[in-house]
A = this chain, B = another copy of it.
């Protein structure tokens, strides 16, 4: 059985590689026609998809409400999935773009050309919409994709996959272009991660445990989408009204997402003026505060923060708060405790701003704005595969362009090396 699974996965990966050679040269028009048909097919297959989703929900009885909510599809959510595919149609095709072209003295012309990566494997947890989003993004960027979704959404994923796969078939796109590992067998992930001869990159999307597991066992390069422990630092030179607006927005507007603030740092010289009002506002909004000693003195109702708090992504209405002695303490706290995702300084002091932006080692560093803008759509990049907390290949929002590599095409007329 295990041997069979390994063999089967290897065949899938081989076919994906084969298909990727064809995808790499598919014209933009052909890809867009497929994507539009996919959107249509999702809408016309609503009933089938919802039926499959009901099965998944029934199997997940007893799970937390937030879990069930993420898993649940509705006609509206399917409409959103279709709309996402149509959004991808509108995005510029990155493949074939000449990033740079130059001539060298012997007359050789070198074109650095954007090309698909090849075969992308995505390992994700319960949201079934990820299935169609990832298929759309990988297809438009000319990559074959191998999907391994959470077992809780297996029925939904299979239904969505079947709908989209049929469209591919009608357009004569090689079947290996999109693949779903349709088994609950846990060994499948391990086996997949050994197929470095066929798969070019693995993108795990989910909790920290999943990502650590993938990193530990993968022989394929991994682009990690870790948690977001995002900070706002209120500098001694901050406009405190602006600080209050930004901190409140970063924490409360949508606390369950990776670009929400989890930790607030405040310069000690403004703590007495800033914290009482700010913490009251958080309290009124139902935010639990876990603070340093000074914070707890200002807000008696706050709990004392532990080391662990400063390393925790709450994804909910909890906030850690720390008063710092100066800018450099804020910077080194963020670099040591944060997750290199998105961090803000609020200040009117230009030198402090530049020092913070240069020294904080995160994908997105903000001056006087909410961390909540870290998002492909907000950045004007369009739909995204996720937000990379890695530094290699892709950092921050990962859209179509980040799903490509490049190659050098060199045009000669008989040049040889002397």
The dominant DSSP class at the A interface is mixed
Which residues of A180-205 have CB atoms within 8 Å of chain B's CB atoms?
Answer: 196, 200-201
Complex Cα distance, B393 from A222, in Å, reads 11
Complex Cα distance, B294 from A194, in Å, reads 38
Contacts of A33 in B (CB 8 A): none
A64 CB-CB contact with B under 8 Å: no
A321 CB-CB contact with B under 8 Å: no
Given A369-B412, A417-B370, the answer on whether A359 and B407 have CB atoms closer than 8 Å is: no
A25 CB-CB contact with B under 8 Å: yes
Given A104-B378, A219-B216, the answer on whether A365 and B416 have CB atoms closer than 8 Å is: no
Contacts of A262 in B (CB 8 A): none
Contacts of A391 in B (CB 8 A): 117-118, 200-201, 405
Task: Judge whether A414 and B239 touch: CB under 8 Å.
Answer: yes
Contacts of A171 in B (CB 8 A): none
Bin chain A's interface residue count.
35 or more
CB proximity of A128 to chain B, nearest CB, Å: 26
Task: Judge whether A102 and B409 touch: CB under 8 Å.
Answer: no
Which one, B367, B407, B414, contacts A368 given CB within 8 A? B414
Task: Judge whether A358 and B390 touch: CB under 8 Å.
Answer: no
A278 CB-CB contact with B under 8 Å: no
Complex Cα distance, B362 from A409, in Å, reads 10
Which of the 9-residue segments A153-161, A241-249, A263-271 touches chain B? A241-249
Q: Apart from A367-B409, A369-B416, what are 13 other A-B pairs with CB-CB below 8 Å?
A: A21-B335, A102-B380, A201-B392, A215-B219, A253-B416, A357-B409, A364-B408, A366-B410, A367-B410, A367-B412, A369-B412, A369-B415, A372-B417
Show 11 A/B contacts (Cβ-Cβ < 8 Å), sorted by A. Answer: A24-B361, A108-B373, A221-B392, A223-B392, A239-B414, A253-B416, A253-B417, A366-B412, A367-B409, A369-B411, A372-B416
